[in-house]
């Protein structure tokens, strides 16, 4: 891979596992130094850091934080600047996902799902904006196709992701012309680890994709890389990476 991001610095939330880890690997392979946020996946974060540092020494930092602690979010940006001296991109990848059927929704679920999927990206973007303006940087939010086509029984999650899509477009207006803001909207890429989707449910979802298969984490990582490294005249856009599911529901 050509080093399109050589000398650039990227902060990735939820960067230790799954889509976040794939994104970290993809951006790092393109030359970026990465600061990986994680909440509890300490062992995974350390393993990924060792993997990336073996490729290029002193190119990956780690920071543990609870994104629901809004007062602590500016510290993630400060840690990135302290480690690498600059910030070129913020990838809001971290997310929480579980069902909240009407009649059973609690305030705690609202605070958790809205907090991780919408509030944290807003306040991280606010903290990062002055530094991104200095580098003509960008923000990439990982949204969801169900932000535009709500998923049954996932009311709060769907609303939170709809808000994140709106936030992406609004921030593009607020932070231009210096900072670009875009979103990547995954479809069926990785299944929840709580087995809430059994094999029958998975096959039904895949049947609605035009490509008749689930995606891979690197499909999302490639889209993030495009927005960070190869799209200097693109802002305020949401790219669905879903095998065509969102137009076939």
Pick from 215, 225, 152, 156: nearest CA to 184: 225
Q: Active-site residue among 38, 98, 154, 157?
A: 157
Contact 177, 218 (CB under 8 A): no
DSSP state at residue 100:
B
CA distances from 52 to 25, 133, 136 (A): 7, 27, 26
Question: Cis (ω within 30 of 0) for the bond into 210?
Answer: no
Quote the distance between the C-alpha of residue 112 and its chain's center.
Answer: 16
Pick from 46, 36, 47: nearest CA to 9: 36
CA distances from 90 to 12, 103, 139, 162, 246 (A): 6, 36, 5, 19, 26
Angle at 119 (CA atoms; ends 186, 14), nearest 5 degrees:
50
Q: Which residue has the tokens 């976040």?
A: 20
Which token pair is 9? 């610095």
CA distance 48 to 40: 14
Could you report how far apart the first and last alpha carbons of the chain are, in Å? 36
233 catalytic? Reply is no
Three-state DSSP class for residue 90 = strand
Residues annotated catalytic, as ranges: 157
């Amino acid at each position: 891979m050509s080093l399109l991001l050589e000398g650039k610095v990227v902060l990735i939330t939820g960067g230790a596992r799954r889509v976040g880890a794939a994104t970290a690997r993809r951006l790092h392979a393109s030359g970026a130094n990465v600061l990986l946020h994680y909440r509890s996946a300490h062992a995974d974060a350390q393993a990924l850091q060792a993997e990336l540092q073996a490729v290029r020494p002193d190119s990956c930092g780690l920071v543990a934080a609870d994104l629901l602690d809004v007062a602590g979010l500016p510290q993630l940006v400060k840690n990135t600047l302290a480690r690498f001296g600059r910030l070129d991109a913020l990838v809001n990848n971290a997310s929480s996902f579980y069902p909240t059927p009407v009649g059973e929704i609690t305030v705690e679920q609202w605070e958790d799902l809205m907090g991780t999927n919408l509030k944290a990206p807003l306040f991280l973007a606010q903290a990062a904006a002055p530094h991104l303006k200095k580098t003509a940087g960008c923000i990439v939010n990982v949204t969801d196709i169900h932000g535009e086509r709500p998923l049954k029984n996932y009311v709060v999650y769907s609303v939170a992701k709809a808000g994140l899509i709106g936030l992406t477009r609004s921030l593009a207006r607020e932070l231009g012309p210096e900072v670009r803001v875009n979103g990547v909207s995954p479809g069926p890429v990785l299944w929840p680890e709580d087995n809430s989707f059994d094999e029958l449910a998975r096959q039904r979802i895949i049947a609605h994709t035009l490509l008749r298969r689930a995606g891979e984490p690197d499909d999302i990582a490639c889209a993030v890389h495009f927005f960070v490294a190869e799209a200097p005249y693109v802002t305020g856009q949401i790219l669905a990476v879903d095998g065509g599911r969102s137009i076939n529901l």
